[in-house]
Amino acid sequence: MRIADDSSFQALAAQFLRKQIKQLAAQDEGIREGIDLEYVHRARVATRRLRAGLKFFDECFDARSDKRWRREIRRLTGELGDARDKDVQIEYVRSALAEIHQPQYVPGIARLLVTFEHQRESAQVRVLKALDRFRASRTAEEIAAAIKPMTGRETTAPSESVLKRAEEQIVAGVDDLLSYETSLTDAADQLQHHAMRIAAKRLRYAMEICRGAYADRLDPFLASVKEIQGLLGEIHDRDVWGAQLDALLADQRDLLDSTYGHDKPLERIKPGIEHLRQERARDRDRLFDQLAGYWQKLRKENLWENLVQAVRSRKPPPGPPADKDKSPAEHGKSPAEHGNGHVSRAKAADVRGKPATKQ
């Protein structure tokens, strides 16, 4: 029997995809009103999970429809991502400007804030167009119609085919993530850290999709993967800042040259920009040390081996052993919560007393 005809596979598909469609639809009005930034964040996460789910369950759908759905969702994800990134950056710059006590830094930070706010206004226009396009494509309605016949096909237990698919996806995800482990010995290896972040995200989504097949017994492992992904996401954000600040200075220099024939006014904003660059670099160092330490903790607990053994044995996973030394997440400091979870990075940064800039 094809796995697409497996009732437990269909039930898993319907359960996961229906949840993401509802989550995405629930954010539409809030995004359009533009009052709470979290609407954009939640919609972005829902679109990412939708794409991951459609890829995982692609045998259940017509190939042409599946390809079109994923294309439409990817376009929406891109615009939501640009807007979300700018929201986080604006929150950080506003916080930095409010806390600064050195007057020589103010002009540069203020200029950066104005630039980001203008970019966010433009991004909002694109987001609204993307929402309208997505609505007109009727992608959500078509997916809902496609999974409707699968809804309610509950079984007493996931089939062997479903568990085998879950094992293949999760073990492959673990192998992919571990292939970047050596990059954690080099704090400057930005490209490999970025690739590791993507690998962690894919593993997380695979585990979330398969979660129902294991009656939520993967949750202890999933929490650790979220933590790793969150830390890698925060590190990537700090890496992006350097390039963006360089671009800002270059744009300002070109503007001044074309307007005045020289770039002397640039000296007023450079101190503030350089101050932010140094702050972001120091924060990256702190986050990388936190990531390396947390990774070693998981290694000592044999977490990855336990996860692989759990999905291969078909038995309830033992989970990480009890540890008196709590993880960063248990102390309320988890970037995974605000990077790709339900709490914004900016809000989580306020809790830590540090400004922040993803999931």
Distance CA 160, CA 225 (A): 25
Residues (pLDDT < 70) of the chain are 1, 153-156, 314-359
Tell me how far CA of residue 130 lies from CA of 22, 81, 122, 322, 359, in angstroms: 18, 12, 13, 46, 21
205-216 confidence digits (pLDDT tens): 999 999 988 877
Compute CA distances 51 → 73, 152, 334, whole Å: 7, 22, 25
Q: Which two tokens stand for residue 254?
A: 């070109």
Task: Kindly report the pTM of this predicted structure.
Answer: 0.83
The CATH homologous superfamily for domain 1-149 is CHAD domain (1.40.20.10)
- Residue 93's pLDDT is 96
Q: What is the pLDDT of residues 274-316, one digit of tens each?
A: 999 999 999 999 999 999 999 999 999 999 999 999 998 865 4
**What pLDDT is attached to residue 335?**
40
- Start and end residues for every CATH 1.40.20.10 domain found in the chain: 1-149
